[in-house]
Structure 1
Amino acid sequence: MNMIKSMAPHSWRHKPLWLAMMAALTNPVFAADNAANIDLDQVPVTGNPLGVASDDMVVPVSVLGGRELSLRRQGTLGETLNGIPGVTATQFGPNASRPIIRGMDGERVRIMQNGVGVLDASSLSFDHAVGIDPLIIEQIDVVRGPAALLYGGSAMGGVVNAIDHRIPKESLDGYTGRAEARFGGPDNTRNGAAVMDVGNGTFALHADVYSRETSNLEIPGYAVSKRKSRADGTPRDSKGNGKLNNSDALANGGALGAAWTFDTGYLGVSYADSNNNYGTVAEDSVRIDMQNKRLELAGEVRDLKGPLQKLKLRMAHTDYQHVELEDGVVGTTFKNRGVQGSLEATHAPIAGINGVLGYQFQNTRFQALGEEAFVPSVTTQDQSVYVYEEYAINQHKLTFGGRTGQTTVNSADSTNFGAGQNNSFNPNSFALGGLYAINDNWNATFNLSHNERAPSYFELYANGAHIATGQYEVGSTQLKKERSNGIDAQLKWKSGGNSVTLGAYATRFKNFIGLFNTGNDVLVDGELLPEAEFRAVPALFKGVELEGKFALNDEWALKLRGDYVHAKDTRNNDYLPRISPLRLGGGLDYHLGGWNARVDVLHAFKQNDVAENELKTNGYTNLSALVAYKLPVKYHVELFAKANNLLNDEIREHASFLKDISPAGARSILVGARADF
């Protein structure tokens, strides 16, 4: 896949993509029996290793897939998920955005690809993009709340699992695939993707290719907010007026996969190569050029005889690198290479108890080289074992389990950082949950958990100027395991096409590791930077989430949603930074024949509960609309048009580190087409 980048002429970048898409739309081989909607029911694979449906799970899980995911796709994973109850985004400009779940981001939200962790540098710095492009994702599962039991200590806030199906898991005799393209939007996007699988019933092959190009983001007025200009004198036009400076991007990539499928399982491999070159917004002269190579191995054997009924293996080797270009010259290089994986065994029922035993491992090496390397080279090794069990009592259910492991984080000797240091931790997590079926329409769930997280390499060893955040960051090797206790409860109602879910949660940290300003300044190359250090404080996160769907009649449906999170340092009674305010939203959905239209509104209230040295943020209202039409042809082809920010409001997400210099896009229209075959 290196040819994707090396064959550089601009016209070539898009040519194979459009050829593949035209073949998908015009070749009659693919037309048979495709008049029906082929969107399949999605089954969450992240929230429960036993594969139960989301309605039967004790933790809150949202699943995006098929048509709904296609219509929601944005340029980043964070923006694609932003607006789901409990989920916001870091939004470091339009090109780098990680999901935030219930006010927690960075290392506390574990981002996975096909059930294996993603190795990139996105948790180190907000300007580093996630190493996954949403264009090639087929399904996204989001676990809201502590999931450290099954997915490691870094999942204290939640899990995002992006599933790409690059390793076929089911027998396929024939062809299947999809293609989509879209144009427009506030960043004048030109993107598309084509995916194809072919098989003979025993062996299956997968191929995909994608390309995405954007221009500088159009914004409703000045990039710099009035508040920031008044606070520190920053000129309002310094980051752009009408357009956001240095916010364009060019990305492309693709993958090949193959699998042997049989009646009781599969075994397969895939190789993916992706490239992403984008402006960093915070600095007009800096761009990031990212390359990510990922080799995956996955297999499963079912219907075994004896004490073990199923074995599942997932492994991935990642070679990630990005360089930060300052006026076209390489300034700093970041590398992250390593192997992650898991082996999971489902045991036979024991006295009515079903469950799994698992082993998870990781061995990675991170390097930062150059002028702005504010962390040393670090090797991280992690291994853990876990058990998860479910016990059904009539229509009710009880779940319980635990995890124990060892994590070592060792820094190398360095001229800038001195002698290397070794740190070792033994995080343990436990959980107890249940589902109580009140009647055929109502059920209640609860989940109690104790979670522990080993400090990350940058929380331990950072010591230098971090230009992207405008701070001099200092880590601490004295940090202990981060510990928290949480409770989550949901009340669910479902009747026909109607449903309501109301949830509440609270997570108390004994020692929440955060980055806090010290009040001191550090002189770096003639410039004073505020000093910020990683330290542990007691903290309490609590909040509520609401989601409702109502079928008004055969054509109309109403959707409601809302969320609120409140987070404080309980020692000093100070608010924690970048916590999203109360959000309420709703929408109307209309279907008639091949037509679909929807209107959606999301209102975020003003955020006055801010941390020290943090500016308040005005509220906003985002009104959007969609019109789609399924063509009356043998193919499953849909044309659509999306309008966003119809009120042309100044949208600044309080959770964004750049909220006061990088607003969301202006009023815009995007058109596209999607096809399944």
Structure 2
Amino acid sequence: MSVPEKGYEGELHYQYDSVSKGNTGSVGLTLGENNLALRLEGTKRYQSDYKQPEPLHQGETSRLAGSYQDNQSANIGVSWLFDDGYIGIGYGEQHRRYGLPGHTHFHDHEDDHHHHAPIRPPLIGHHHHNHNHEYPDEQHQHGIPYIVMDSKRWDLRGEKNNPFTGIESIRFSAVRTDYHHDEKEGNEVSTSFKNKGDELRLTFTHQPIWGWHGVIGGQFNQRDFSAQGEEAYVPSTKTKNHSLFLLEEYQLGDFRYELGFRQEWQSLLNRETQKNNKQSASSISAGLAWNFTQDYFLNLSLSHTKRLPVAEELYANGVHAASRTIEKGDPNLTAEAANNIDIGITKVTGDIQFNMSAYYNRINNYIYGQFTGTELNNGYRSLQYVQNDAQFKGIEGNIDYYYNQDSLIGISGDYVRANLLHNKGNIPRIPAYRLSTYIKHSFTENVIGQIRIDHFGKQNKTADYETSTEAYNTVSLGSEYIGYLDNTDYTLYAKINNIFDVKGKDSTSYIKDEMYLPGRNIILGATLTF
């Protein structure tokens, strides 16, 4: 955050979307004098059940019951800036109420999405209260579950430049989050989740040593999780994680070399059994960037990383309705070990610009939920967390051609293939390949337009208990007008997404068989900065 030259600056934004009859408004204001700056922000968003291209099942409406959301958030932050650094403090709140579409009962009640990590509002965020909305009748008539969530966050951050010989800067941050949500049907709470977290981070940027310039630091995280109710499928746990890391860079002519190292220690206490799972992990990486000719860069990175298992994978034991599964953890799981290679080429100037890369990731002891072969009522499947070797490989990129100073045509795409080794099947919830083409044109200094066509491929490389998703295409149009009034800038924009109201499903969704993605959507908005 910086102190505004004129003592204040701000922005206003409003957006309407037709597919959910949604309204979003936000305001931000920065005030400052001398070395002090104050930042205030607030956002309010309400969207009703969105409209699908057609009902998924006969006799239903095209509105996806339970897809509504009502969000309010707010933050305040104060920073003191001095010649060689700053210190700032912030506080934020977030309040949400949203439905859980596509879910059915298991026994008497329903579960939620995977909301066991704390929601983290930004340092300077949003807030606004309005509880006068009438929520969709389907919520009560058909017992659609919904979430009522509250989150609070405190931040303290600072930086000191040139504190002593050999050190260019010191940075620190301290964050505390307090997260709570209730899963409800009607006015009754079925399950409550609480998550309190603390994070401390300290880094030192050192001056070059034999040409190497970089950062050394440490981080501490603590997570206190608890759940009560019919579908508290993970026991109360306390996780402590601390780590040390080093990132270094060396420039030699057209070559830039990078090295990284991280050592991590974790203890995860199951409060019900009082058993403490303690593990550690080491990760290392190396990279090379080569400016081999004008405007062209070749990038290569190699890494060996480890990921420690989380509480859900170790201790889950019950219904997880977000994925329609009965999950069983394994306290004997060990760290995943991944070996990754990533290579890419980039051109950053000229009439033709592009960025393309390919990667291969081999993971030993990959953790996933294995289908046990048992299906229970309402389509719930039994999963056991196990470990097997796996591989991920993919490509992604984009190419833009500027055929004059006002226009460009581009293509982009990505593809990933993920499977278990030794003929043990596919990894679930992997995105289908995507190919896109777009044209952008500046009609005047103030008016810009764009057309975009997206092709989403068929995904039939699925896990045993998953269904495939069909390919589909969408066409979108957009335009914006940029204007100026004295010391005020404004932008007016209009978009039409999925013009032809095409049916599509998201292969990464837990509930892809219960819903279509949103249909045709007209978006109108305005932004004002002053």
The Cα shift of 1:497 comes to 6.0
CA contact (8 A) 1:170 1:266 kept: no
Say if 2:420 is the partner of 1:569: yes
2:238–2:268: 8 Å Cα contact kept in structure 1? yes
Q: Which shifted more, 240-249 or 339-348?
A: 240-249
Residue 306 (structure 2) pairs with residue 455 (structure 1): no
Superposition map of 1:128-527 within 5 A: 168=1, 174-223=7-56, 236-237=57-58, 240-283=60-103, 284-413=143-272, 419-496=273-350, 498-521=352-375
Contact 1:210 / 1:253 at 8 angstroms: preserved in 2? yes
Distance 1:631 1:494 in 2: 29
Show the counterpart of 1:615.
Answer: 467
- Separation in 2 of the partners of 1:467 and 1:560? 38
1:598 to 423, 447, 450: 450
Contact preservation (8 Å) 2:3, 2:32: no
Contact 1:189 1:212 (C-alpha < 8 Å) held by counterparts: yes
> How many angstroms apart in 2 are the aligned matches of 1:299 and 1:532?
45
1:573 and 1:256 map into 2 onto residues whose CA distance is: 51
Give the structure 2 partner of residue 75 of structure 1: none
Structure 1: runs of 5+ lacking an equivalent = 1-167, 224-235, 414-418
- CA 1:529–1:632 in 2, change beyond 3 Å: closer, same or farther? closer
Distance 1:262 1:550 in 2: 45
What code does the residue aligned with 2:483 have? Answer: L
Note if contact 2:322-2:510 (Cα within 8 Å) is conserved in structure 1.
no
CA distance in 1 between counterparts of 2:470 and 2:43 reads: 37
How many residues align? The count is 489
| Contact kept? 1:332, 1:373, Cα under 8 Å | yes
Name the aligned partner's letter for residue 338 of structure 2: S
Q: 1: CA distance between counterparts of 2:251 and 2:6? A: 37
Deviations 1:314-363, CA, capped at 9 Å, x for gaps: 22100000000112211101111020131110011101110110101101
Over residues 160-190 of structure 1, what are the superposed CA-to-partner deviations in whole Å (9 max), with x where a residue is unaligned? xxxxxxxx25675511221110112311111
- SS of the aligned residue for 2:20 comes to coil
Distance 1:387 1:508 in 2: 24
The code of the aligned residue for 1:187 comes to S
Q: Identify, as 1 or 2, the structure richer in strand.
A: 2
Q: Deviations over 1:595-643 (max 9, x none)?
A: 0111111101111212212111101112111111123422211111110
Structure 2 segments unaligned to the other structure (5+ residues): 104-142
Q: Which moved more, 1:349-358 or 1:487-496?
A: 487-496
Alpha-carbon contact 2:254-2:292 (below 8 Å) kept: no
Map Cα deviations across residues 91-111 of structure 1 (whole Å, 9 max, x no partner). Answer: xxxxxxxxxxxxxxxxxxxxx
C-alpha distance in 1 between matches for 2:499 and 2:26:
27
Match of 1:541 in 2: 392
CA distance in 1, matches of 2:24, 2:76: 20
Provide closer, same or farther for how the CA distance between residues 643 and 171 of structure 1 changes in structure 2, counting only shifts above 3 A: closer
Cα distance change, pair 176–498 in 1 and its aligned pair in 2 (3 A): farther
CA contact (8 A) 1:516 1:534 kept: yes
Change (3 A) 1:259 1:209: same
Q: Distance in 1 between matches of 2:188 and 2:449?
A: 48
Residue 641 of structure 1 corresponds to 494
TM-score, scaled relative to structure 2 = 0.90
Aligned residue type for 1:300? E
CA distance in 2, matches of 1:497, 1:409: 54
Paired letter, 1:566: R
Within 1, Cα distance between the matches of 2:223 and 2:475? 43
In structure 1, distance between residues paired with 2:157 and 2:394: 37
Give the 3 Å change call, closer, same or farther, for CA 662–645 of structure 1 in structure 2. Answer: same
In structure 1, what is the equivalent of residue 123 of structure 2? none
Q: How many percent of aligned residue pairs carry the same amino acid?
A: 29
Distance 2:388 2:248 in 1: 33
CA distance in 2, matches of 1:358, 1:426: 17
CA-to-aligned-CA distance 1:541-588 (integer Å, 9 cap, x gap)? 000001122222121122221000001100224121111122100211
**Cα RMSD for the two superposed structures:** 1.5
Q: Counterpart of 2:427 in structure 1: which amino acid?
A: L
The amino acid of 2:170's aligned partner reads L
Give the Cα separation in 2 of the matches to 1:169 and 1:460: 45
> Could you tell me which amino acid in structure 2 is paired with residue 560 of structure 1?
I
Partner of residue 58, structure 1:
none
How far apart, CA to CA, are the structure 1 residues paired with 2:169 and 2:70?
A: 42
Post-superposition offset of 1:496: 3.5
Q: 2-side partners of 1:315 and 1:439: how far apart?
A: 43
Deviation at 1:675, TM superposition (A): 1.4
Which of structures 1 and 2 has the larger relative contact order (alpha carbons within 8 angstroms, sep 6+)?
1
Report which of the two has the higher share of helix. Answer: 1
Question: How big is the shift at 1:420?
Answer: 3.0
Alignment equivalent of 2:507, drawn from 650, 654, 671? 654
Taking the aligned partners of 2:297 and 2:446, their CA distance within structure 1 comes to 35
CA contact (8 A) 2:3 2:31 kept: no
Is the 2:3–2:33 contact (alpha carbons within 8 Å) kept by the matching residues of 1? no
Measured in 1, the distance between the counterparts of 2:4 and 2:81 equals 5
The whole-number CA distance in structure 2 between the counterparts of 1:646 and 1:198 is 42
1:548 and 1:358 map into 2 onto residues whose CA distance is: 37
Hey, what does 2:122 align to over in structure 1?
none
Deviation of 1:237 after TM superposition, in Å, equals 3.9
Greater displacement, 552-561 / 333-342: 552-561
Contact 2:88 2:156 in 1 (8 A): yes
Partner of 1:628: 480
Distance 1:620 1:519, change over 3 A: same
Task: Give the residue type in structure 1 aligned to 2:505.
Answer: R
Tell me by how many angstroms 1:492 deviates. Answer: 1.0
1:558 aligns with 2:378: no
Check 1:222–1:410 CA distance in 2 against 1; reply closer, same or farther (3 A cut): same
Separation of aligned partners in 2, 1:472 and 1:329 = 23
Say whether the 8 Å CA contact 2:3–2:36 is kept in structure 1.
no
